[in-house]
Structure 1
Amino acid sequence: MSDRYTDKPFLRFVDAYVLRAIGHLDEATDSYCKAMIPNLEKSFGIKGTWPEIVEKQMKFPPDLSAQIRRIWEEGKTRFEAGNGEAADPVQFAMIFVDQNFGRA
């Protein structure tokens, strides 16, 4: 997974944003993102929490988190019914980001 972020460090925050929206952001990643707030503020000239900085930098609409959550819930139900196994939230986040934001 580290290869995913080698030349695109901000992508880690976009993936984390999606995981947070669907309620699957692990504590270690959240702590990392929080610790990086000063660097994000300096890099982008935007003040706020890390999710707010991601939203502003990516120009996300205000209701995007709710939309992502709805897509996850609907897709998860279909995936699990069709495959008989649990949907992987990390895989969902990466696919969602890649398809919708071009790997940021």
Structure 2
Amino acid sequence: MANDPRYEGKPLLRLLELYVLKAIGELSRESEDALKAMGPKLQAIYGGDGQWDDAIAQAMHMPDTMPEAIRDMWARNLKIARDNNVTLTPQQFAEMFVDNNFAA
């Protein structure tokens, strides 16, 4: 995924998707561990409390209620997908959410 053209020149894009995945409870343990290790570096760049997700929230000026809002939207989108017999993966949702809410 690191070589995906989607992320070229957009260092925050993947981190935002991972933030969304964490909010909906779909972040892999492997990704969580790697991101925790990045926390201090991200804090140095973006601020926050030393947690990687707080640094991203600070960088994007997100309200404290953002994870809850993301979970609500995930639930609504899952229902719409089910009603239309479509599969919505967590990654698809994360990309859609980021593209719709944090477009450059």
Question: Normalised by the size of structure 1, how large is the TM-score?
Answer: 0.86
Q: Extract unaligned runs of 5+ from structure 1.
A: none
Aligned match for 1:55, one of 54, 57, 63:
57
Which one has more relative contact order, counting CA pairs under 8 Å at least 6 apart? 1
Q: Which residue of 2 aligns with 1:23?
A: 25
Q: Structure 1 stretches (4+) deviating beyond 4 angstroms?
A: none
RMSD: 1.6
After superposition, residues 4-83 of structure 1 pair within 5 angstroms as 4-83=6-85
- 1:62 aligned partner, one-letter code: D
Q: What's the CA shift for 1:88? A: 0.6
Q: Which residue of 1 aligns with 2:97?
A: 96
Percent identical residues: 36
Distance 2:65 2:47 in 1: 23
**Does the 8 Å contact 2:40/2:52 carry over to 1?**
no
* Mean Cα deviation higher: 5-14 or 42-51: 42-51
Q: What's the CA shift for 1:76? A: 0.3
